Structure 1
Amino acid sequence: MKPLVQAEQAVLGSVFLDPGQLDQLAPWLRPEHFSRPAHAALYAAMLKLRADGHPATTGKSGDPIPLSWVTDTVQEASTRTRGLTASYAHSLISACPRTTHAPVYGRMVLEGAIHRSVTQHAVRLHQAARADAVRGGVEETVRHAQILSDVLADLAHRWGTEPRPVPPPAPNTSTSQQPQPVDEQVLADEEFLLGCISARPEQLLDVVGWLHPGDFADIGHQQIYRALGALHHRGEPIDQLTVLWETQRRSALSDGTLDAERVLRICDPLSLSGVAEHFGGQVVQASLVRTAAASARQVRALADNESLAPGRLIGYALHALGPLDDVRRRLRLTHEPEPPQRTSRPGTSPPAARIDAARARSHLAAAPAPSAPVAPACASSPDRHNHRSPS
Structure 2
Amino acid sequence: MTPLVQAEQAVLGAVFLDPGQLDHLSPWLRPDHFYRPAHQALYAAMLRLHAEGHPAATANAGEPVPLAWLTDTVREASTRTRGLTASHAHALVAACPTPVHAPVYGRMVLEGAIHRSVAQHAIRLHQAARADGIRGEVEETIHHAQILSEVLTDLAHRWGTEPRPLPPPAASESPVPQRQPVDEKVLADEEFLLGCLSVRPDQLLDVVGWLHPVDFADTGHRHIYRSLGALHHRGEPIDQLTVLWETQRRGALADGTLDAERVLRICDPLAFSGAAEYFGERVVQASLVRTATAAARQVRALADTESLAPGRLIGYALHALGPLDDVRRRWRTASAGESDPVRPGGPRGAPPPAARIDAARARSRLADATASVTPVAAPCTALPSRPTHRSPS
TM-score (norm 1): 0.89
The corresponding residue for 2:304 is 304
SS at match of 1:54: coil
The within-5 A match list for 1:150-299 is 150-172=150-172, 176-299=176-299
- Offset from partner CA, 1:216-256 (integer Å, 9 cap, x none): 00011011111111111211100000011111111111211
CA 1:27–1:100 in 2, change beyond 3 Å: closer, same or farther? same
Q: How many residues align?
A: 365
Equivalent-residue separation in structure 2 for 1:215 and 1:342 (angstroms): 23
Cα pair 1:10 1:93 within 8 Å, conserved:
yes
- Offset from partner CA, 1:184-204 (integer Å, 9 cap, x none): 111110000000000000101
Q: CA deviation at 1:362?
A: 5.7
- Offset from partner CA, 1:237-282 (integer Å, 9 cap, x none): 0000001111111111121111111111100111111111111111
Q: CA deviation at 1:338?
A: 3.6
The within-5 A match list for 1:1-391 is 1-172=1-172, 176-334=176-334, 335-338=336-339, 350-351=351-352, 353=354, 355=357, 357-359=359-361
Equivalent-residue separation in structure 2 for 1:172 and 1:250 (angstroms): 31
Cα pair 1:237 1:355 within 8 Å, conserved:
no
Question: Which amino acid is 1:52 matched to?
Answer: E
Equivalent-residue separation in structure 2 for 1:142 and 1:197 (angstroms): 28
- Alignment gaps of 5+ in structure 2: 369-393
Equivalent-residue separation in structure 2 for 1:177 and 1:151 (angstroms): 22
Q: CA deviation at 1:349?
A: 5.4
The corresponding residue for 1:389 is none
Cα pair 2:175 2:298 within 8 Å, conserved:
yes
SS at match of 2:56: helix
- Offset from partner CA, 1:332-388 (integer Å, 9 cap, x none): 221243456589999x9525836555445566899xxxxxxxxxxxxxxxxxxxxxx
Question: Which amino acid is 2:41 matched to?
Answer: A
- Alignment gaps of 5+ in structure 1: 367-391
SS at match of 2:308: coil
Question: Which amino acid is 1:350 matched to?
Answer: P
Question: Which amino acid is 1:337 matched to?
Answer: E
- Offset from partner CA, 1:44-91 (integer Å, 9 cap, x none): 000111111111111111122111111111111011001111101000
Equivalent-residue separation in structure 1 for 2:132 and 2:323 (angstroms): 18
Equivalent-residue separation in structure 1 for 2:8 and 2:287 (angstroms): 42
CA 1:349–1:317 in 2, change beyond 3 Å: closer, same or farther? closer
- Offset from partner CA, 1:82-138 (integer Å, 9 cap, x none): 111110100000000001000000000000000000000001011111111100111
CA 1:18–1:263 in 2, change beyond 3 Å: closer, same or farther? same
Equivalent-residue separation in structure 1 for 2:169 and 2:358 (angstroms): 50
Equivalent-residue separation in structure 1 for 2:14 and 2:351 (angstroms): 77
Q: What is the RMSD of the two structures over their aligned residues, measured on CA atoms?
A: 2.2
Question: Which amino acid is 1:279 matched to?
Answer: F
CA 1:225–1:90 in 2, change beyond 3 Å: closer, same or farther? same
TM-score (norm 2): 0.88
CA 1:342–1:77 in 2, change beyond 3 Å: closer, same or farther? closer
Q: CA deviation at 1:211?
A: 0.8
Cα pair 2:168 2:174 within 8 Å, conserved:
no
Equivalent-residue separation in structure 2 for 1:208 and 1:5 (angstroms): 53
CA 1:23–1:145 in 2, change beyond 3 Å: closer, same or farther? same
Q: CA deviation at 1:157?
A: 0.3
* Matched-pair identity in %: 78
Equivalent-residue separation in structure 2 for 1:343 and 1:87 (angstroms): 79
